């Protein structure tokens, strides 16, 4: 079976894949054997897919799906769901502790050479945390928060599988009940018609003025102009965005200089990061073996749900 790798995997990973009996690994797009590709691993585009008439599976390295319009509906697409849970959850926990101890403000004052000891520091024990998204990322994040004594709530598409460390689950339709109580609102949702623009001005104004908003899911979940509007009115003690509506973030975006906003360039879930790489490759190797053996694949994407 020919597998075309369309990403720069580490040499040891390529060697491990090459040792799997029955696999023929190709990494050069000019290789004439590409026409016989049955599995495409990594990035895809219409031109590439059209050159692979025998394609039977696309294995993504991301936790989401993105635009799949260039892949025929009959070809299954699998992602690396679950591989990012621990790495991104640690990122989120770091951000939570950072805001509770006011590190962004101290860093800004350091740049301005201001010696001010009046900045408040907060305990994490008893803090109410709401995870909007209860997949591998949101669930692992709340698990870590619960270990530090935080009060955990979650939002998922349907009410099922409530972990013992979660006090209560809500749906997208009922989460406004808990929003006014949450000290941290953390978004890890996939992009779907239901989540696009879900956090807009009216919803922001239902939240605590001194709440912290963090988004590591999809930038489309947050209406940026509305966020900036409410922040000018005093909302939010802090905001951390790892994802934005438009990426790369334009140089003229007000987010770059907005007070109380911390930005990272969509790196919490980079598959190339040491925090995530081996876990992602583990999913890839498992699915290739399953495909060879004719077994059900892990994490195939439901195109109607978009995840």
What's the confidence (pLDDT) of residue 65? 85
The Cα–Cα gap between 259 and 237 comes to 10
Give the tens place of pLDDT for each residue, 30-46. Answer: 999 999 999 999 999 99
Least Cα distance to 268 among 97, 20, 86, 57 occurs for: 86
Flag whether pLDDT at 55 surpasses 80.
yes
Q: Look up 117 and say whether it is catalytic.
A: no
What band does 98 get if pLDDT is binned at 50, 70 and 90? very high
CB atoms within 10 A of CB 251: 6
Strand ranges, E, within the chain: 2-6, 24-26, 39-42, 57-59, 77-78, 128-132, 151-155, 168-170, 184-187, 212-215, 238-241, 261-263
> Between 85-100 and 103-111, two packed helices, what is the crossing angle to 10 degrees?
70
| Domain range annotation of the chain | 2-82+276-293, 85-263
Q: CB of 206 within 8 A of CB of 180?
A: yes
What's the confidence (pLDDT) of residue 251? 97
Candidate list 200, 260, 266, 290, residue with the active-site label: 266
What band does 73 get if pLDDT is binned at 50, 70 and 90? very high
Candidate list 7, 247, 259, 278, residue with the active-site label: 247
DSSP letter at 298 equals S
Least Cα distance to 86 among 135, 132, 123 occurs for: 135
Q: What are the angstrom distances between the C-alpha of 230 and each of 36, 102, 202, 223, 258?
A: 54, 21, 9, 11, 12
Give the tens place of pLDDT for each residue, 115-161. Answer: 999 989 999 999 999 999 999 999 999 999 999 999 999 999 999 99
What's the confidence (pLDDT) of residue 136? 94
Q: Look up 191 and say whether it is catalytic.
A: no
Superfamily (CATH) of domain 85-263 = NAD(P)-binding Rossmann-like Domain (3.40.50.720)
Flag whether pLDDT at 307 surpasses 80.
no
CATH topology identical between 2-82+276-293 and 85-263 = yes
The Cα–Cα gap between 246 and 159 comes to 32
From 1.10.1740.10, 3.40.50.720, 3.20.20.70, 3.90.400.10, which CATH number describes the 2-82+276-293 domain?
3.40.50.720
Q: What are the angstrom distances between the C-alpha of 160 and each of 74, 156, 170?
A: 30, 8, 10
Specify the pTM: 0.94
Candidate list 156, 191, 203, 218, residue with the active-site label: 218
The Cα–Cα gap between 3 and 95 comes to 39
């Amino acid at each position: 079976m020919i597998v075309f790798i369309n990403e720069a995997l580490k040499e040891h990973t390529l060697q491990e894949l090459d040792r799997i009996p029955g696999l023929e690994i190709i990494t050069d797009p000019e290789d004439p054997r590409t026409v016989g590709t049955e599995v495409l691993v990594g990035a895809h585009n219409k031109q590439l897919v059209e050159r692979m008439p025998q394609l039977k599976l696309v294995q993504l390295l991301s936790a989401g799906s993105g635009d799949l319009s260039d892949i025929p509906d009959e070809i299954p697409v699998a992602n690396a769901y679950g591989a990012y849970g621990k790495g991104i959850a640690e990122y989120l926990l770091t951000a939570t502790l950072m805001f509770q101890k006011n590190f962004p403000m101290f860093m800004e004052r350091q740049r301005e050479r201001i010696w001010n000891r009046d900045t408040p520091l907060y305990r994490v024990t008893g803090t109410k945390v709401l995870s909007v998204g209860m997949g591998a990322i949101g669930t692992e994040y709340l698990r870590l928060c619960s270990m530090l004594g935080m009060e955990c709530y979650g939002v998922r598409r349907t009410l099922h599988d409530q972990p013992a460390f979660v006090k209560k689950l809500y749906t997208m339709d009922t989460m406004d009940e808990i929003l006014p109580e949450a000290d941290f609102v953390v978004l890890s949702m996939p992009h779907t018609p239901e989540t696009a623009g879900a956090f807009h001005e009216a919803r922001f104004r239902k939240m605590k003025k001194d709440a912290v908003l963090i988004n590591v899911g999809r930038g489309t979940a947050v209406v940026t102009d509305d966020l900036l509007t409410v922040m000018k009115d005093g909302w939010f003690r802090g905001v951390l965005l790892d994802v934005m509506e438009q990426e790369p973030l334009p140089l003229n975006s007000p987010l770059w200089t907005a007070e109380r906003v911390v930005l990272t360039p969509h790196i919490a879930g980079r598959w190339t990061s040491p925090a995530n790489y081996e876990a992602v490759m583990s999913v890839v190797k498992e699915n290739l073996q399953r495909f060879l053996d004719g077994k059900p694949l892990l994490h195939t994407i439901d195109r109607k749900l978009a995840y």
